[in-house]
A and B are shown apart, each in its own frame.
Chain A
């Protein structure tokens, strides 16, 4: 079966750096997405990786290793507003998005 694993919850301190990992086992691979979702709101797009390596976008970076079925989202200079759930999703060979359960990130002052 298809499976996306990411930690359920993480806690970090304001101003610090946090890395949220995602491992996947899917039938084919056409890219990996990271989305941010605040409670009660729809997800918003953060990043898309289809090639190995690191993609940097401001305070957020996303890394992909296709051979390891692994990705991480790196958040730097954490702000209180970064408290949210972070969803990892993989586009499989049928271009279906397979979603992880999300990682709830709690930022403490």
Chain B
């Protein structure tokens, strides 16, 4: 199946700093990528839908100025957590849909990035 690579897997940062997480589709072009956040023992929560070449669509309650999403190419989307605070500590996961499967194509997930803000 298709491969989505996410980097870094682990990141620890100080409160007030910014952290960038990359999501790459390695063997297919992803016009749409999704960013999720998952707190311990909870389900995935969609944060935003990232569309190549246009602004991301954020879910209600997600601050777009705090979680900056850039989808500059068909294989790369980035999530930047700006001025991170301890409550932003979470597991962040990206996914992409392989367009070859049509609108209902399988979702492929990155490995996830565990962010700890001290």
Contact = CB atoms under 8 A, between A and B. Distances in A.
A33 interface: yes
B114 interface: yes
Contacts of A31: 104
B109 A43 contact: yes
Contact of A40 (B34, B91, B95, B108): B91
Which bucket holds chain B's interface residue count? 20 to 34
Residue from A42, A44, A97 with most neighbouring chain B CB atoms (10 Å):
A42
Contacts of B93: 42-43
Interface of A: 30-31, 33, 40-45, 48, 50, 87, 91, 95-97, 99-102
Those 6 A-B pairs whose CB atoms lie nearest each other, nearest first = A42-B109, A42-B112, A101-B43, A31-B104, A42-B93, A99-B43
